[in-house]
Structure 1
Amino acid sequence: MASSSNVHVRICGQEIVKYDLEIKALIQDIRDCPGPQSALTEFNSRVKEKFNMLRLRIQDLEQMAKEQDRESDRLAMIAEMESQRRQMLSNQTAWRKANLACKLAIDNMEKDELLDGGEKQSTRQRKATKESLVETSGNITESLMSISRMMAEQVNQSEDTIGTLATSSRTVLETNEEFKSMTGTIHLGRKLILKYNRRELTDKLLIFLALALFLATVLYILKKRLFPFI
């Protein structure tokens, strides 16, 4: 069962790395994209899909971490999960910057075309540019909202991790206190046993002395009865 779990963890890690590399490659494609806007939209759609898949695999890794029996394995997997979350947030920031750079390049190209065209074409291009800017603004806003949600999730996960560590620490302290209490009880029991043994020895000695006195008394009485003149 443990071997099967390790295989699932390894496969999950490999997929996370694969999606991370694919996202980085797509972000580079966005930086190099010369236009038009439809090409940028297609790249962004693919990036969103990869981010969704990456987010699911990170959640799977988190679930597998919670199912670990060994505390060291669980903490190591949680640390790896947090690292992957931070990497994903870094990729989202790079994605946003790449979109801004690409959009700026497309806008500059469209401005040059506007200067070369007629007035009607210039009007159409400005309208298209405004629509494109509105769309890009919406995409950027969506990306920022996604980053905010991810940061909130990360804060919650960190709070859960801290709470788990605090619970583990309290358990260790309580166990230590129980051991101390048991040690005190054992010492007290040992003292009571020694005291009981000493009292038992004293009782035996008193019984022996009483028996000796009784026998001496009996012998004295018998002597007086049997040999009154001695």
Structure 2
Amino acid sequence: MASSGEFHVRMCGQEIIKYDLEIKALIQDIRDCPGPHSTLMKFNSQVKEKFSKLRLRIQDLEQMAREQDRETDRVAIQEETESQRRQMLSNQTAWRKANLACTLAIDNMEKDELLQGRENLSTRQRKATKESLVETSSNITESLMSISRMMAEQVKQSEDTIGTLATSSMTVQETNEEFKNMTGTIHLGRKLILKYNRRELTDKLLIFLAVSLFLATVLYILKKRLFPFI
């Protein structure tokens, strides 16, 4: 158990040293930061994250000191904890100073750029105006070409539509002629059917008369044979 506790204390101390070195490196990056403010804010965000982790590890080390059985170990770990806490406070002070120096440097640089920019403002405005005119002319030309292409496409579509309508008209006319021919054929067929029906009725009537005559003849012959004296 004792060796395990010593191992955790040693690991915690190593992490504290690692975070301390990383914070020092970030503070140096802030001192050397040329700008802009967004880059400085990014460095500050990283420093805050490292300080948060460092503070937690120092608290863990302090808790480990309370859990030690031997007084000598507890005192040694507490002294190490206080030393690391003082080092953290020193880093926080250095961080604030580096931030202030970097902010002033960036502000002065931006002021210098603003002063130089005013001197060249007229030149840039004229250049920007020319570029804007060129871009506007180019856009107008492109728009005219686009309109011309659209009109050409519409003309082609109109020609295709007219051709389709002409083809459809011819098809309708041909269909109308076919309907007329079919109508004539239907009338002719109707006449033939009516004529056939009349002929069938006449044939039936003639057959009926022939059968009636035949039966009458048969009846007459039978009557003469069977009843000769009547």
1:44-74 Cα deviation digits (max 9, x unpaired): 0000000000000000000000000001110
Q: Higher Cα Rg: structure 1 or 2?
A: 2
Alpha-carbon deviations, 1:17-67, whole Å to 9, x = none?
000000000000000000000000000000000000000000000000000
Query: Which contiguous aligned blocks of 4+ residues in structure 1 show a shift greater than 6 angstroms?
Result: none
Compute the displacement of 1:114 (Å). Answer: 1.1
Amino acid at match of 1:7: F
How far, CA to CA, are the matches of 1:4 and 1:75 in structure 2? 18
Q: Which residue of 2 aligns with 1:68?
A: 68
**How far 1:118 moved relative to its partner?**
3.2
Residue 117 of structure 1 and its aligned partner are, at CA, apart by: 1.8
- 1:44 corresponds in structure 2 to 44
The aligned amino acid for 1:43 is F
Listed as ranges, the matches of 1:149-160 within 5 Å are: none
Report the CA distance between 1:116 and its aligned residue.
1.3
C-alpha separation in 2, matches of 1:118 and 1:108: 15
Residue 12 of structure 1 aligns with which residue?
12
| Matched position secondary structure for 1:109 | helix
TM-score, normalized by length of structure 2?
A: 0.51
Give the C-alpha shift of residue 86 in structure 1.
0.2
Q: Does 1:113 align with 2:113?
A: yes
Asked if 1:35 is matched to 2:26, the reply is: no
Letter in 2 for 1:8: H
The one-character-per-residue Cα deviations of 1:160-190 (angstroms, maximum 9, x if unpaired) are xxxxxxxxxxxxxxxxxxxxxxxxxxxxxxx
Counterpart of 1:92, as a letter, is: Q
- The residue aligned with 1:154 is none
Distance 1:118 1:104 in 2: 21
Q: Tell me the residue number matched to 1:2.
A: 2
Correspondence list, 1:1-230, <5 A: 1-118=1-118
Q: Where does the alignment leave 5 or more consecutive residues of structure 1 unmatched?
A: 122-230
Distance 1:112 1:118 in 2: 10
Counterpart CA distance in 1 for 2:111 and 2:71 is 60
Q: Distance in 1 between matches of 2:63 and 2:50?
A: 20
Give the percent of matched residue pairs that are identical in Structure 1 and Structure 2. 81
Matches of 2:106 and 2:112, distance apart in 1: 10
Measured in 1, the distance between the counterparts of 2:6 and 2:79 equals: 16
Deviation track 1:83-128 (CA, whole Å, cap 9, x = no partner) reads 0000000000000000011011101100101101239x8xxxxxxx
Matches of 1:56 and 1:113, distance apart in 2: 43
| TM-score, length basis structure 1 | 0.51
Cα distance in 2, alignment partners of residues 112 and 79 from structure 1: 50
